[in-house]
């Protein structure tokens, strides 16, 4: 029996855990490519950040906050250092190299963290055939991940349509 003195529990911003694809919007991979080019790569970081927030709400294995913040800090540091004049870069070469390596390292770690969680969510929801390739993830990054999310959404809507047609036929 419920405690009459306990306030009711309701979450208006509830995340759909039964079908994880309902939490992701279908967005063209071509638009991801265009936005990535137009924003000089900033959209890639935004895409990873927003998808990481969704994944952390629906997946039992969270993407660590320190990883997200480390990638963001190194990204901003590396971007800021790229605006320095060449004379200053020569004197700060160690800092520039460390920021570049750190930026790449943490970004790729974060990218594969998102990839792994998306793969696990697909397997948990009965779609193990939708494999997210690590090589394509490395080379095409968020464009490829968005493509795979779209593929899952399309497969889910195709399955729902075929089930609905079968139900209407019988």
* Per-domain boundaries in the chain: 31-153
CA distance 68 to 156: 30
What is the band of 159 on the pLDDT scale with cuts at 50, 70, 90? low
The pLDDT of residue 3: 64
For residue 128, pLDDT over 60 is answered with yes
In this predicted model, what pLDDT tens digit does every residue of 61-86 receive, in sequence order? 999 999 999 999 999 999 999 899 98
What pTM did the predictor assign?
A: 0.80
How many other CB atoms sit within 10 Å of the CB of residue 91?
10
φ/ψ of residue 85, rounded to 5: -65, 155
Give the residue among 128, 146, 117 at the shortest CA–CA distance from 53. 117
The pLDDT of residue 110: 97
> 148 versus 17: which is more confidently predicted?
148
CA distance 94 to 100: 10
Cβ contact 53:95 at 8 Å? no
What is the band of 156 on the pLDDT scale with cuts at 50, 70, 90? confident
φ/ψ of residue 160, rounded to 5: -65, -40
In this predicted model, what pLDDT tens digit does every residue of 25-50 receive, in sequence order? 899 999 999 999 999 999 999 999 99
CA distance 126 to 145: 18
């Amino acid at each position: 029996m419920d405690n009459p003195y306990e306030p009711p529990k309701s979450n208006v911003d509830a995340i759909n855990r039964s079908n994880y694809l309902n939490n992701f919007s279908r967005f063209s991979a071509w638009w991801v490519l265009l936005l990535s080019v137009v924003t000089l790569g900033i959209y890639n970081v935004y895409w990873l950040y927003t998808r990481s927030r969704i994944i952390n709400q629906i997946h039992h294995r969270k993407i660590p906050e320190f990883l997200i913040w480390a990638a963001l800090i190194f990204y901003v540091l590396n971007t800021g250092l790229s605006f320095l004049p060449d004379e200053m870069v020569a004197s700060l070469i160690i800092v520039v190299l460390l920021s570049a390596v750190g930026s790449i390292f943490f970004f790729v770690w974060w990218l594969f963290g998102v990839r792994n969680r998306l793969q696990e969510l697909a397997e948990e929801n009965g779609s193990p055939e939708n494999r997210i390739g690590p090589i394509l993830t490395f080379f095409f990054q968020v464009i490829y991940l968005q493509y795979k999310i779209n593929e899952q959404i399309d497969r889910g809507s195709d399955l729902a349509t075929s089930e609905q047609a079968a139900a209407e036929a019988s």
